[in-house]
Structure 1
Amino acid sequence: MQEYERKQLLERVEREGATVGADIPETITIQGEEIDLRTFVFEIKRRETVPQGERDRVEQAKRNLRRERIERLEAIEEGDITREEGEELAGSIIGIDRALNALESLGPTNLEREQQAQKAQDRKRWMSFLKKALGKDDDGASRRGR
């Protein structure tokens, strides 16, 4: 995959409205286990309130989805993949984001803190990627000319 194609995929995934019109994947494989993601999300969403026992299950699912999203994003950022594989990964990331949005809108949790942490991690990975792509070391220009 060409570097400009990689950047286009990353921009597509991180775009503000990327999940608009996107479908939640029917199934997804996370850590070798296939999950009926769409069924799970719709089951949880149709209830008015989520019982405490289910809340723990939902929180665990969200953590697993975030972890899987990061792994797939890193595969696009750093992996030796084809354009087709990148497109497939980007589509799956957008589907994961759609599922996460649905699960996070369920009710009172500490979503703001989780979103801030996710954004901070995304920014850190993006900056690391840009530094690698631009050939700069970690502390930037501080080593030039010395």
Structure 2
Amino acid sequence: MKEYQRKQLLERVNRDSATVGVTLPEAIEIQGEEINLREFVFEIKRRDTIPPGERERVDHAKRNLRRERIERLSLIDENEVSYGEGETIAEAIIGIDRALNALEQLGPANLEQEAKKQEAVDTKRWMSFLKKALGDDKMSGTRGRM
């Protein structure tokens, strides 16, 4: 494949809007195993939240999809395929991205636990801001000493 074609394919798969209007692939082969991707994503998305037992399954699927995306992208990036094969791989990568987007948008398994985590992050961010705004020595109780 020519260099400009390779760059065109890479730009296409890395575009933020690449998945807009794209339907999930019916099935995809990941690490030698055929996965009914559309069925899996729709099965998981039917629920408002992911039950604790399913969270591990979803996380595993997301890891595998990310790994497969990287492997397929490297075939284009390293110019190891023809342009026609590259187009097919690019479509598969966009389908993987669509599935990952759908799985990333799922609600948390435990809303109370997620709220506590968010509160801890907010508190840490607020304390960091105060330390910067007031100076580290004022937050550590050494105010007025020089």
TM-score, normalised with respect to structure 1: 0.73
Q: Which residue is equivalent to 1:59?
A: 59
- For 2:22, what is the secondary structure of its paired residue? coil
Once the two structures are TM-superposed, the CA of residue 50 in structure 1 deviates from its matched residue by: 1.0
Q: Which residue is equivalent to 1:46?
A: 46
Code of the aligned partner of 1:54: E
Q: Deviations over 1:15-45 (max 9, x none)?
A: 1100001111100101100000000000000
Q: Which residue is equivalent to 1:93?
A: 93
Larger radius of gyration between Structure 1 and Structure 2: 2
Once the two structures are TM-superposed, the CA of residue 79 in structure 1 deviates from its matched residue by: 3.5
Q: Which residue is equivalent to 2:20?
A: 20
Q: Which residue is equivalent to 2:2?
A: 2
- C-alpha distance in 2 between matches for 1:80 and 1:103: 30
Give the RMSD, CA atoms, in angstroms.
Answer: 1.4
Code of the aligned partner of 2:90: A
Once the two structures are TM-superposed, the CA of residue 80 in structure 1 deviates from its matched residue by: 2.2
- C-alpha distance in 2 between matches for 1:78 and 1:58: 30
- After TM superposition, the runs of 4+ consecutive aligned structure 1 residues lying more than 6 A away are none
- C-alpha distance in 1 between matches for 2:40 and 2:16: 25
Unaligned runs of 5+ in 2: 115-146
Correspondence 1:129-144 to 2 at 5 A: none
Once the two structures are TM-superposed, the CA of residue 108 in structure 1 deviates from its matched residue by: 3.3
Residues 1:83 and 2:65 aligned together: no
Code of the aligned partner of 1:15: R
Q: Which residue is equivalent to 1:104?
A: 104
- C-alpha distance in 1 between matches for 2:108 and 2:50: 10
Q: Deviations over 1:64-120 (max 9, x none)?
A: 00000000000100142111100000000000000000000002389xxxxxxxxxx
Unaligned runs of 5+ in 1: 111-146
The count of residues paired between Structure 1 and Structure 2 equals 110
- C-alpha distance in 2 between matches for 1:11 and 1:80: 17
Once the two structures are TM-superposed, the CA of residue 49 in structure 1 deviates from its matched residue by: 1.5
TM-score, normalised with respect to structure 2: 0.73
